[in-house]
Structure 1
Amino acid sequence: MRYTVYIFLFAALTLVSCVETPDFDTTPTIAFNSIDKFTVPDPFSGPNARKDSVIITIDFEDGDGDLGVTAEERSDTTLLNSKYSGWGNYELKTLRLEKGSFVELPTAVTSKLFFPVLKRDGKPGPIKGKLDFSQIFFYSRFAQPTVLKFQVRVRDRSLRVSNIIETDTISVPLD
């Protein structure tokens, strides 16, 4: 019986040691995964009001896992604004289709975006996963269906910037 336990432990350790650690670059890499739209009621704007919730999903890889901003960093706005000048750690550019080509649509809501730390244990090491961002578009009396697409990039706590990805197009209400 004792030898059976030792054989089982040896086999388990052998299998665990066979798992190879991924070798990702320390500069984050992202890829477009999906863009989805859900039309939902907007009870705050009236009984028949509605809004579109657009969810952009990207895949990410980072070799040292330093993606995201800690709660402490977020509470120190002076440090946050000086370190992440211009944009946060998630950049979202909105592009509107106008006369056959896409032009950037400046929006104050998406000018400085942050997402939380993705590797919770704090230890350096590779990380891979999906990151979702949700944006709301409200229907109004003057809103017209408008074709949009988005450009996304991220940066890590060492300020290394990922590649830029573009989403597929989607139609949402805009004034």
Structure 2
Amino acid sequence: MNYLFKYGSVLLLLALTIVACRKEPSYSDVPHIEFDRVEQYTYTKNRITFDSLVLVVDFQDGDGNLGLARVASGESDPDFLPPFDQSSPYFNNFFVNLQVKRDGQYVPYPLGQYLNLNGRFPRLSSDEKNEALEGEIKYTLTNFSDDIFDSNDTVRFEIFIYDRAQNKSNVVYTDDVVLFQGQ
């Protein structure tokens, strides 16, 4: 038993020393994103084929001020007051532009002005502490249907995000997605 206490305490002390020496990452306060993947789920309902797409981006942010509440907690919720009110360009924090491949080139989706894919992702830190964050954001797009898109259309998405200080991230593009092939 003394053997367990003697070497167990040494291992615990060693583990605490390693954890205490961990250096915090140093990232820019301007968010940086990288495309990770698209998860595609195809299903049929009432003889119409649908795609649900999950866009996954990895992020790094030096001050951790990413995300906005999706639902107001009251009239004075800061995530719904200027500059994040509904009439503001910063109301959303995840921006998606759809592009369709035509003759080998990507062009904006012809009805893009009627198809708003932008939205909000939630706060990634529960407090206002200024700390570096990294991880992934999964953003779901639903109801791409074959009554609007041609079967086998190849699309990609242009993506960027904003933090609460209105810093715009870099722009990334997804890999090609062939619609209605995710079965």
Q: TM-score, with normalisation over the residues of structure 2?
A: 0.77
Do the aligned residues in 1 keep the contact of 2:95 with 2:117 (CA within 8 Å)? yes
Do the aligned residues in 2 keep the contact of 1:86 with 1:112 (CA within 8 Å)? no
Is 1:36–2:43 an aligned residue pair? no
| Aligned equivalent of 1:97, options 88, 96, 101 | 101
| Aligned equivalent of 2:121, options 115, 122, 132 | 115
For residues 130 and 167 of structure 2, what CA distance do their matches in structure 1 show? 15
Is 1:59–2:68 an aligned residue pair? no
For residues 87 and 107 of structure 1, what CA distance do their matches in structure 2 show? 17
| Aligned equivalent of 2:161, options 137, 140, 154 | 154
Is 1:20–2:23 an aligned residue pair? yes
Per-residue CA distance 1:66-105 (angstroms, 9 max, x = gap): 000134345x366523784166211101011123321112
Gaps in structure 1 of 5+ consecutive residues: none
Other structure's SS at 2:122 match: coil
Deviation at 1:112, TM superposition (A): 3.9
Do the aligned residues in 1 keep the contact of 2:162 with 2:169 (CA within 8 Å)? yes
Q: Give the partner amino acid of 2:29.
A: T
For residues 141 and 114 of structure 2, what CA distance do their matches in structure 1 show? 12
Other structure's SS at 2:84 match: helix
| Aligned equivalent of 1:133, options 129, 134, 139 | 139
Q: Give the partner amino acid of 1:28.
A: P
Q: Percent identity?
A: 23
Between 1:111-120 and 1:156-165, the stretch displaced more is: 111-120
Other structure's SS at 1:144 match: coil
Other structure's SS at 2:17 match: helix
The number of residue pairs the alignment matches comes to 166
| Aligned equivalent of 1:170, options 165, 174, 177 | 177
Q: TM-score, with normalisation over the residues of structure 1?
A: 0.80
Other structure's SS at 1:13 match: helix
For residues 132 and 124 of structure 2, what CA distance do their matches in structure 1 show? 11
Between 1:8-17 and 1:59-68, the stretch displaced more is: 8-17
1:88 aligned partner: 92
Q: Give the partner amino acid of 2:176.
A: T
Gaps in structure 2 of 5+ consecutive residues: none
> 1:124/1:163 Cα in 2 relative to 1: closer, same or farther (>3 Å)?
same
Q: Give the partner amino acid of 1:97.
A: K
For residues 96 and 12 of structure 1, what CA distance do their matches in structure 2 show? 52
For residues 88 and 13 of structure 1, what CA distance do their matches in structure 2 show? 41
> 1:148/1:52 Cα in 2 relative to 1: closer, same or farther (>3 Å)?
same
Q: RMSD of the TM alignment (CA)?
A: 2.7
